Structure 1
């Protein structure tokens, strides 16, 4: 059983059911914490529609949190959600600007993770 994330009739990630549910739940929780909509809308079929504009704003805000703190626990908690979100954002045709000091780390982890995120 899968949990697809779709944008404009295109599957961005055909996640496993548990992985997809966990990611969607974490994104909704982070969106509430960040006071911004996640851009993810659960579907009756069991998955999420991704609103490109809202999702990009969410990812920008999440990255802002990640980039603005020196608290390693907070950065670690945000990083997994951020990297997964960056993969989805790329696949939806969006992008955000990363600080030069974050590019190598986040792009490397994102590239590795993207290979395991089936479409």
Structure 2
């Protein structure tokens, strides 16, 4: 079984159910910790809707937190959610605001490498 992450009628990612639950759980934890809406909905009947307004803003907040932190454990924890999130945002065609603290080449490399292993359906 697998779960479809979608925005409106566009399939963005189709991981196994366990990977989907782990990703959503991490996103919800970070959303609570940072007091910012993630835009990632609940998994309902193997589908998860992602809001195109809230999710890019959530990713931007994570990028800033990552870039402003010198805590390597925190940075490592954020990198997994960010890498997956950036693939999703790119597939949806959402603009990601840039920030002076963000190393865009680092994230672009992560996004490109990861995208190859993230099926859409």
Q: TM-score range by the shorter chain?
A: over 0.9
Per the alignment, do residues 46 and 69 of structure 1 end up closer, same or farther by CA in structure 2, a change over 3 Å counting? same
Structure 1: gaps spanning 5 or more residues:
none
CA distance in 2, matches of 1:100, 1:63: 8
CA distance in 2, matches of 1:26, 1:75: 14
The residue number in structure 2 matching 1:18 is 18
How many residue pairs get aligned? The number is 119
How far residue 46 of structure 1 moved from its aligned partner, in angstroms, is: 2.3
Larger RCO: Structure 1 or Structure 2 (Cα < 8 Å, ≥ 6 residues apart)? 2
1:86 Cα offset (Å):
0.7
Q: 1:36 to 1:113 in 2, by over 3 A?
A: same
Aligned residue in 1 for 2:93? 93
Cα contact 1:41–1:50 (8 A) shared by 2: yes
Rounded to whole Å, the distance in 1 between the matches of 2:91 and 2:66 is: 21
Per the normalisation by structure 1, the TM-score is 0.92
Structure with higher helix content: 1
Structure 1 residues 76 and 39, CA gap change in structure 2 (3 angstroms):
same
The 8 Å contact of residues 63 and 102 in structure 2, kept in 1 or not, is answered as no
TM-score (norm 2): 0.91
Query: Which residue in 1 is equivalent to 2:112?
Result: 111
- 2:77 and 2:90 map into 1 onto residues whose CA distance is 21
Deviates more, 1:47-56 or 1:88-97: 88-97
